[in-house]
Amino acid sequence: MSTRRLAVLGATGSIGLQTLEVFRTLTAEGFALTVTVLAAATSVAPLADAAREFGARAVGVAGPGEAERIRQELPAGVEVVHGPQGLAALAGRDDVDLVLNAVVGAAGLRASLAALEAGKMLALANKESLVVGGELVRTSGAGTAAIVAVDSEHAALQQTLQGVEEEQVECLWITASGGAFRDRPPEALAQVTPREALNHPTWRMGPRITVDSATLVNKAFEVIEAHHLFGVPWEKIGVLLHPQSVIHGLVELVDGTVLAQMGPHDMRIPIRYALTHPRRLPGAPTRLSLADLTLELSALPRDRYPAFWTVLEAGKTGGTAPAVANAADEVLVAAFLDGRIAFTAISEGLQSVLSAHRPAPCDSLAAVEEADRWARDRARAFVEGNG
Ligand code: MG
């Protein structure tokens, strides 16, 4: 097999750093992989370190200021680009085969579209690509056929669906840990603090996604992603509470068989598979202790996670509604983390913003960006009125 040339976008975040760690292990084991492109928004010093370590040919950063600073830290000849356009150009470069998109935020969508249009394989960890731009991604290049999922639930479903025909699928099930407040009485949720919300029971992740796990907004986003990624109708995608986070996804078949994918909660495992697929290589970073497992699954309680249902509804509405849900959620979560609104105001704000939105078709990046701006303004107004 020829050397697989990798672009890591979002290289200094949690997934990006774990990708570089997996990369070091794989290349030390002799797997033919090189990093040609690295991008990160503002973490200039760690990005420069990584670019020198891996001999990257091009790097991307957020703006001209970061570009100026990183240029001084890199060998002559390394191309430096900035902004969403720069990121998209990196994703489409001739010297890249596989784009691992772990960008946080809507800038990741543009990069995903560029990668697909240029015929690249896309290892997808950027939520917004499918949540906000699912309708655009599906019609871009090879569409979802070129995507290998990095998110644990979608990686699980994608692997479990191998060899399964569409008409054999009864239901896809995504599991949810239940987040930081799964055992709190609902009436206590108005008083919880940002510090408590950031204490996720099983996964270590960035602040926004950890809060999104406590509200289950993240799980609604994952249902939207699954809908677009696998082309499965809404009524055939369900969510189950599973506090152990060992089963990541289940495929229930028409004949009553249920196929499940299990694994340690260690993102290096799906990342490793994304880099080596369709091959599987020895050298698991962690393993399940199968003889000691207790696995509990239960239905999602209807009243505990109001934001889940609100965001799921936005997904079903489609068009610009999911972009509005995403942008409003980002503003509301930031306001909660700043101590400006209560935890329960996240779901109230989402409800308020989405009920005021008139969805438009999601037929261009411009439509997405316009909806994003509108939602941020509305969410900020909600924060002002509810602080
Ligand atoms: Mg996930």
- How many Cβ atoms sit within 10 Å of the Cβ of residue 191? 11
Say what the pTM is.
0.95
Query: What is the model's pLDDT at position 2?
Result: 85
| Ligand 1 center from residue 175 Cα (angstroms) | 9
84 contacts 110 by C-beta, under 8 angstroms? yes
Span from the CA of 219 to the centroid of ligand 1 (angstroms): 7
Q: What's the 68 CA to ligand 1 centre distance in angstroms?
A: 35
Q: How far is the CA of 262 from the centre of ligand 1 (A)?
A: 13
In the prediction, which pLDDT does 6 show?
98
What order of strands is seen across the sheet that includes strand 98-101?
79-82, 58-61, 33-39, 4-9, 98-101, 121-124, 147-149
Angle at the Cα of 17 from the Cα atoms of 270 and 133, rounded to 5 degrees: 65
| Comparison of pLDDT for 206 and 263, the residue scoring more | 263
260-to-166, 167, 329 alpha-carbon distances in Å: 17, 18, 31
Cα of 345 from ligand 1 centre, angstroms:
23
At 36 the three-state DSSP class reads: strand
What is the average pLDDT across 17-29?
95
Distance 152 CA to ligand 1 centre (A): 5
Averaged confidence pLDDT in the chain: 95
Indicate whether 1 pLDDT > 70: no
Cα-trace Rg, the chain:
20
> How does pLDDT run across 217-273, given as a tens digit for each residue?
999 999 999 999 999 999 999 999 999 999 999 999 999 999 999 999 899 999 999
pLDDT of residue 349: 98
The DSSP symbol for 3 reads P
